[in-house]
């Protein structure tokens, strides 16, 4: 469960893996609950875990109903921001988080201008342009790409990400391995390309190359476990 940028006191950020389950904690989805009460309960459960992890009981939490698209919203208050796969904020004490299992959680921070973002970067959102959209939305509220630090979480590896031609054709050829019976896609490599194209310096990117499919003890994988799969949380906050 790495905390990220621990040398930067102006940030709180982490990718929280399934080790929390040893304490009896699990993250709850806010995407498909049937009732408003279930949404509030799921969000508060997630906030409680994050609050305990950071040791800050005052943390508030904002999440979105993730739809595998390219919508990025400006989070200004706790709660559910809407249908989106990315959240940006400049509000101290407001944590923004995304749930993932095989998709990457991309955390972005411009500490100088005090703007952060959390992005759910699955293959659909990545090819639809969610990464440049997230950086653009950060710029709109004052961020500068060359000052942005980025963290790319574990996601499914090329070796495990077997797809059909309808998916493979959405990616540039350099990210598709066609040497096997079916195509395999390098999602992490494509995410990196999209990120660096925005102007974020490569030297400011932390990348975890762990494969969600292969690391069963610490990482959830929907490809491996199907509907039984839990979720990891990528979360970032400007301290209040």
Confidence of residue 133 (pLDDT cuts 50, 70, 90): very high
Residue 3 is assigned to a structural domain of this protein: no
Q: In the predicted model, what is the mean pLDDT of the chain?
A: 95
Residue 217 is assigned to a structural domain of this protein: yes
Which CATH number fits the domain that encloses residue 87?
Answer: 3.60.140.10
Q: Mean pLDDT, to the nearest integer, of 46-55? A: 94
Residue 206 is assigned to a structural domain of this protein: yes
Comparison of pLDDT for 63 and 20, the residue scoring more: 63
% of the chain exceeding 90 in pLDDT = 89
Q: Which domain holds residue 153?
A: 12-237
Give me the pLDDT at residue 22, please.
Answer: 84
Q: Mean pLDDT, to the nearest integer, of 172-181? A: 96
Give me the pLDDT at residue 202, please.
Answer: 97
Confidence of residue 62 (pLDDT cuts 50, 70, 90): very high
Residue 157 is assigned to a structural domain of this protein: yes
Q: Over the chain, what HEC string results?
A: CCECCCCCCCCEEEEECHHHHHHCCCCCCCCCCCCHHHHHHHHHHHHHHHHHHHCCCCCEEEEEECCCCCCEEECCCCEEEEECCEEEECCCCEEEEEEECCCEEEEEEECCCCEEEEEEECHHHHHCCHHHHHHHHHHHCCCCHHHCEEEECCECCCCCCECCHHHHCCCCHHHEECCCCCCEECHHHHHHHHHHHCCCCHHHEEECCCECCCCCCCCCCHHHHHHHCCCEEEEEECCC
Residue 2 is assigned to a structural domain of this protein: no
Domain total for the chain?
1
Give me the pLDDT at residue 3, please.
Answer: 84
CA atoms of 60 and 55, how far apart (whole Å): 13
Q: What is the pLDDT of residues 66-112, one digit of tens each?
A: 999 999 999 999 999 999 999 999 999 999 999 999 999 999 999 99
Q: Mean pLDDT, to the nearest integer, of 46-54? A: 94
Task: Evaluate if residue 34 carries a pLDDT over 90.
Answer: no
Residue 118 is assigned to a structural domain of this protein: yes
Give me the pLDDT at residue 222, please.
Answer: 95
CA atoms of 145 and 136, how far apart (whole Å): 9
Give me the pLDDT at residue 23, please.
Answer: 85
What's this model's pTM, rounded to 2 decimal places?
A: 0.96
Confidence of residue 196 (pLDDT cuts 50, 70, 90): very high
Residue 4 is assigned to a structural domain of this protein: no
Confidence of residue 1 (pLDDT cuts 50, 70, 90): low
CA atoms of 184 and 159, how far apart (whole Å): 7
Residue 1 is assigned to a structural domain of this protein: no
Q: Mean pLDDT, to the nearest integer, of 178-192? A: 97
């Amino acid at each position: 469960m790495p905390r990220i940028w621990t040398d930067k006191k102006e940030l709180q950020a982490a990718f929280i893996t399934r080790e929390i389950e040893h304490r009896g904690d699990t993250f709850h989805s806010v995407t498909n609950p049937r009732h408003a009460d279930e949404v509030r309960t799921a969000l508060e459960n997630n906030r409680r875990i994050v609050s305990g992890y950071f040791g800050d009981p005052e943390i508030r939490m904002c999440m979105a109903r993730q739809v595998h698209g390219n919508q990025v919203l400006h989070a200004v208050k706790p709660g559910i921001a809407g249908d989106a796969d990315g959240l940006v904020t400049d509000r101290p004490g407001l944590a923004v988080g995304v749930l993932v299992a095989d998709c990457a959680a991309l955390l972005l921070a411009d500490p100088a201008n005090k703007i952060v973002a959390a992005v759910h970067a699955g293959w659909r959102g990545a090819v639809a342009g969610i990464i440049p959209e997230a950086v653009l939305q950060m710029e709109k509220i004052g961020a500068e790409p060359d000052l942005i630090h980025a963290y790319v979480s574990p996601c499914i590896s090329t070796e495990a990400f077997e797809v059909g031609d309808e998916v493979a054709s959405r990616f540039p050829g350099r990210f598709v391995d066609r040497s096997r019976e079916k195509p395999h896609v390098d999602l992490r490599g494509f995410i990196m390309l999209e990120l660096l194209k925005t102007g974020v310096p490569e030297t400011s990117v932390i990348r975890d190359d762990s494969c969600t499919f292969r690391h069963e003890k610490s990482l959830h994988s929907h490809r491996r476990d199907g509907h039984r799969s839990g979720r990891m949380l990528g979360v970032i906050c400007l301290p209040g």
